[in-house]
Amino acid sequence: GLATLVERVNGAYEHYERDLDLKTRSLELSSAETTAINKRLRAELLSRTRAIDSLRATVRGVMDSIGGVHAPQQDDSLESLSALVSELFQQR
């Protein structure tokens, strides 16, 4: 009777608490993974930005030394800088 009902209710609460613990742990792991991935992506972006800035400075230096008219702008893309480098090598 009543004891069986109390046991079933208690079991349901324990099951709910286990499920909640598992879901909480899963979210914590997912959050930690997402944070680690975001940190890695930020570092990669910073590295690529430095590489593009270095390439831009190199292209400016080469163009200045050969009297180039067009110096790359700050917003030049990697693709346009690469094409410009190719042009510069063909001119030399």
Q: Residue 43's domain spans which residues?
A: 2-91
Count other C-beta atoms under 10 Å from residue 72's C-beta: 20
pLDDT, position 65 = 85
| Angle 44-78-56 from CA coordinates, rounded to 5° | 95
Residue 75 — pLDDT band, cuts 50, 70, 90? low
pLDDT digits (tens, 9 = 90+) for 1-51: 999 999 999 999 999 999 999 999 999 999 999 999 999 999 999 999 999
Kindly calculate the radius of gyration of the chain based on its CA atoms and give it in whole angstroms.
Answer: 30
| Beta carbons of 74 and 49 less than 8 angstroms apart | no
What is the number of structural domains in the chain? 1
Q: Output the pTM of the full model.
A: 0.63
Residues 34, 13: Cα–Cα separation, whole Å: 31
Residues 55, 80: Cα–Cα separation, whole Å: 11
